[in-house]
Structure 1
Amino acid sequence: MEEMVGPRLYSCCNCRNQIALHDDVISKSFQGRNGRAFLFSHATNIMVGPKEDRHLMTGLHTVADVYCCDCREVLGWKYERAYEETQKYKEGKFILEKSKIVKENW
């Protein structure tokens, strides 16, 4: 008998709210505030905080922190604007910290 398995996804480490699909991972080689982070093309069930300019490892960016919409855990940030041409590909994408998300359906 074959088991029906849903898509591989990532959930909030605190409340298990579904946040992102594995298929939306662009890169696993990013740095968050607290260690390794993943760059995602999409994220769901989140709230986006106010925009602010931050000096990150790759230069100045306008970013907004992203929170789980259920438990309000800070999960990472959204790139709103990149000031350097080589970083423009990040605009509209999400950084989710590895320590803040857990794998589901793996």
Structure 2
Amino acid sequence: MAESLGPRLYSCSNCRNRVSLHDDIISKCFQGRNGRAFLFSHAMNITLGPKEDRHLLSGLHTVADIYCADCHQVLGWKYERAYEVSQKYKEGKFILEKAKIVKEDW
């Protein structure tokens, strides 16, 4: 078996800008705007949009959309605040939509 030369990464599907590490996935069981999404503990090479309150499947949250820093495609969102106690674990975490990211260096 061939060994990986570096960390397994996810990149923007549009421009291949690296946006997160596979090791930073918390859960693959989330729903984005356009289908499945992953919850990540960290993201890189992104910019954040303005914060807004949004009603999601799990309740009311304050979120900021995440954009690729290179091509400005919307990739998902960052949880800024959760109003329900059971959802507080999401605060500071990132949703990246599966359709907007690709595996890189696997």
Q: Which TM-score band applies after superposition, normalised by the shorter structure?
A: over 0.9
The code of the aligned residue for 1:60 comes to L
- % identical aligned pairs: 79
Q: Who is 1:52 aligned against?
A: 52
Q: Secondary structure at the match of 1:52?
A: strand
The code of the aligned residue for 2:84 comes to E
- How far the C-alpha of 1:12 sits from its partner, in A, is 0.2
Q: C-alpha distance in 1, partners of 2:3/2:47?
A: 34
The code of the aligned residue for 1:86 comes to S
Q: Who is 1:31 aligned against?
A: 31
Paired positions, count: 105
1:81 aligns with 2:69: no
- How far the C-alpha of 1:6 sits from its partner, in A, is 1.2
Q: C-alpha distance in 2, partners of 1:55/1:70?
A: 29
Q: Who is 1:91 aligned against?
A: 91
Q: Secondary structure at the match of 2:99?
A: helix
Q: Who is 2:105 aligned against?
A: 105
Quickly say closer, same or farther: Cα 1:14–1:59, change in 2 above 3 A: same
Unaligned runs of 5+ in 2: none
Q: C-alpha distance in 2, partners of 1:4/1:88?
A: 35
Unaligned runs of 5+ in 1: none
The code of the aligned residue for 2:67 comes to Y
